[in-house]
Amino acid sequence: MQCIVQGCPGEMEERRIVHTFVREGKPIVIENLPALVCPICRYTVLDVRVLDTLFALDPEKDTSVSQAPVFRLSLDPTPAGVQ
């Protein structure tokens, strides 16, 4: 499938990706997520069926396979190099 980004000549490839979503304010990480990824611009398309499965997932009831630490960066609002 041709990349849907206008002007991008990429051909989308089926990949399994890791993606982080925020559900009810809490981040959840999904591994082995089937997606179409453009190798040129990295645009990612998820299948509607995959999205349905994701929305049906209940972080409270379904068992997570692993735990990921969550960090919050405290960055100075001044961009680096600006004085």
Q: Which residues make up the interface to Zn ion (CB under 5 A)?
A: 3, 5, 8, 10, 38, 40-41, 43
Nearest distance, CB of residue 38 and Zn ion, angstroms: 3
Give me the amino acid identity at 75.
L
Nearer residue to Zn ion within complex by CB, 13 or 47: 13
Which residues are bridge partners to 16 per DSSP?
34
Cβ-based nearer residue to Zn ion, 10 or 54: 10
Phi, psi of 48 (to 5 degrees): -60, -40
The CA angle 36-40-46, to the nearest 5 degrees, is: 15
Complex with Zn ion: residue 2 or 64, whichever CB lies closer: 2
Task: Please state the closest distance from residue 41 (CB atom) to Zn ion, in A.
Answer: 3
Backbone angles phi, psi at 58, to 5 degrees: -110, 105
Smallest distance from the beta carbon of 1 to Zn ion, in angstroms? 11
